[in-house]
A and B are shown apart, each in its own frame.
Chain A
Amino acid sequence: MKQLTVLSGKGGTGKTSVAAALAHLASQSSFAGRLVLADVDVDAANLELVLRPRRVAVEEFRGGKIAVIDPVACTSWGRCEEVCRFDAVLLSGGCYRVDPLACEGCAACVYQCPSDCITMEDQVAGSYRLSESRYGPLHHAELLPAQENSGKLVTLVKQRARLQALDEDGELVLADGPPGIGCPVIAAASGADLALIVAEPTVAGIHDMRRTIETVEHFGVQAVLCINKADIYPEGTAEIERFCREKGIELVGRIPFDDAVSAAMVAGEPVTEFLPHSDAGRAIVEMWIRIVASVLEGP
């Protein structure tokens, strides 16, 4: 079983559009029936919008705890406000209360309160979902707005996908990852056999691509790279190509800027299925062939 995670650093470079197309292509290949999908961008979970799967199960996900002050027992001492390093304790109308969006869940106030009126309460942070798509099972989640994206929900989704693949003789776990380089990215990339970095030939895209590659290297994950909207800034594309040569990173695809990609998104279809003969569709097919040959079926 292999795990391929799609990442980017900069948001909006086309991770989900690429992941959806790869899911479609994998389901048409020797991986058919042995493909497990995961959307590990729990903060902006969009793969479902393209795959339009049938929901099979939903489970509540509890994240961290937050402090709650009992307003009746509170003697307005103010010790909680003093010890809170996260500016989460507010005095309003002569009463102290905890701003749930600011609370870090450290419980420092609980142990310092002289009147013992603060408790820690579990928070529902989102939900884990299992769905059935036309290409294979999809493990995904929805983090509630403003919750801490600690990577725990990402890890849960990834592990459920891997377990299903292991249990059912799956060969490929294909995961659509989050942007950035922090906790959710580390959770999404760790344990992957391959990270496909979707880069964009813009000054911002190149800057963030470098940081993403450093991050996956830091965690010992092999990276390959594709350039999306490759024709929008030829100097940028040349710079990425040079970077790949210097770093020994395989460039597996160049996808041109193509209206077909957003048209497919609106239609709720992967571009390779909706407009297979579009420039972007053909480029992704070529890329898939290269990924399979050089990595997934490699040593």
Chain B
Amino acid sequence: MVIAVASGKGGTGKTTVATSLALVASTQRAVRFLDCDVEAPNAALFLKPQMHGRKEVGTLLPVVQESLCTHCGRCAEVCEFHAVAVVGKKTLVFPELCHGCGSCILVCPAKAISERLDVRGVLEAGETASGIDFAQGLMKVGEAMPVPIIRELRRWNVSGRDSFEIRDSPPGASCSVVETLRGADFVLLVTEPTPFGLHDLRQVAEIVRKLNIPSGVVVNRDGIGDGGVDTYCAETGLPILLRIPIRRRLAEALARGVPLVEVAPEYTSALLGVLEFAAATAVS
């Protein structure tokens, strides 16, 4: 069963919740953890896995064999991203525009195009002291597209049906969040009770609705801000599964990379309750 932890707004505590949820779940079942925030992955700082595997990933770029190419221009015609151009007797590929869809290869009448992997990031795998099977993606600095890396991470190893897979999502409410949520059975939405938290929660809750995945809310830093998030959750029927009050002690421990359940073991039973709720309402 796959539980994705998302938030909309950054810095609301996705990684805090996801890592402690994984630690608590690992006392019961096999757990696989995927850090899908490939631009700014932080879960390893809390779970501290021993890394033992590594795989380079990226986009499959077309390679034109000039001796076979007739410069008919069909590849350039079908490319929606203008990543291929035929200029006189030369066929040019622009790697930063290519999405790796393979359409140019399929249409080339001379079969002159093959592919090579253009490395845009790495996947790393490891195991934590508590036996969590950990994997993360890391996009190369200067690269623009996180989605292919998240896609490869999801496909790298698939968890068994009776285990928990917990995915830590990037912030926002665009394509990289959608890629993280694909195939999830339950989404945990972490927010803070402020106008920013509410605004961005609405955005990501909209995606979850479109994907038709059951979800619940964690209100982090409860006690700051206002009642907007509570009102919104009540009006839209989003269950609030956990509240974590604002405490300087927690903030200081999290800053050092100490997981929530280590500094505050009293959250263990509440997190088990979240897992139970997720299992009971999940799509599969």
Q: Which A residues form the contact surface with B (CB < 8 A)?
A: 8-13, 16, 43-46, 49, 64-65, 83, 85-87, 101-102, 104-108, 111-112, 120, 143, 145-149, 151, 178-183, 185-186, 200-205, 207-208, 211, 214-215, 218-219, 229, 232-233, 235-236, 257, 259, 262, 265-266, 268
Determine if B143 is an interface residue (Cβ-Cβ < 8 Å): yes
Cα–Cα, bound, A108→B144 (Å): 22
B-side interface residues, number (CB < 8 Å): 59
> Closest CB-CB distance, B270 to chain A, in whole Å?
22
Q: By the criterion CB–CB under 8 Å, are A182 and B144 in contact?
A: yes
Q: By the criterion CB–CB under 8 Å, are B200 and A46 in contact?
A: yes
Q: In the assembled complex, which residues on chain B have CB atoms less than 8 Å from the CB atom of A185? A: 39
> Closest CB-CB distance, B121 to chain A, in whole Å?
11
Which chain B residues (152-209) contact chain A, with CB distance < 8 Å? 170-178, 182, 194-196, 199-200, 203-204, 206-207
- Of the A-B pairs whose beta carbons lie under 8 Å apart in the complex, a sample of 8, sorted by A's number, is A44-B171, A44-B203, A112-B106, A149-B174, A181-B39, A214-B141, A215-B141, A215-B142
- By beta carbon, the residue of chain B nearest A47 is B196
Say whether, besides A11-B9, A233-B255, A146 and B173 are in contact (CB < 8 Å): yes
Q: Which of A229, A232, A257 has the most CB of B within 10 A?
A: A232
Determine if B102 is an interface residue (Cβ-Cβ < 8 Å): yes
Q: By the criterion CB–CB under 8 Å, are B102 and A12 in contact?
A: no
Say whether, besides A46-B196, A83-B102, A218-B142, A202 and B226 are in contact (CB < 8 Å): no
Q: By the criterion CB–CB under 8 Å, are B8 and A44 in contact?
A: yes
Q: By the criterion CB–CB under 8 Å, are B256 and A203 in contact?
A: yes
Q: By the criterion CB–CB under 8 Å, are B251 and A44 in contact?
A: no
Cα–Cα, bound, A152→B275 (Å): 39
Determine if B225 is an interface residue (Cβ-Cβ < 8 Å): yes
Say whether, besides A10-B10, A111-B78, A182-B145, A85 and B101 are in contact (CB < 8 Å): yes
> Closest CB-CB distance, B255 to chain A, in whole Å?
4
Q: In the assembled complex, which residues on chain B have CB atoms less than 8 Å from the CB atom of A10? A: 10-11, 40, 42
> Closest CB-CB distance, A10 to chain B, in whole Å?
5
Cα–Cα, bound, A229→B172 (Å): 22
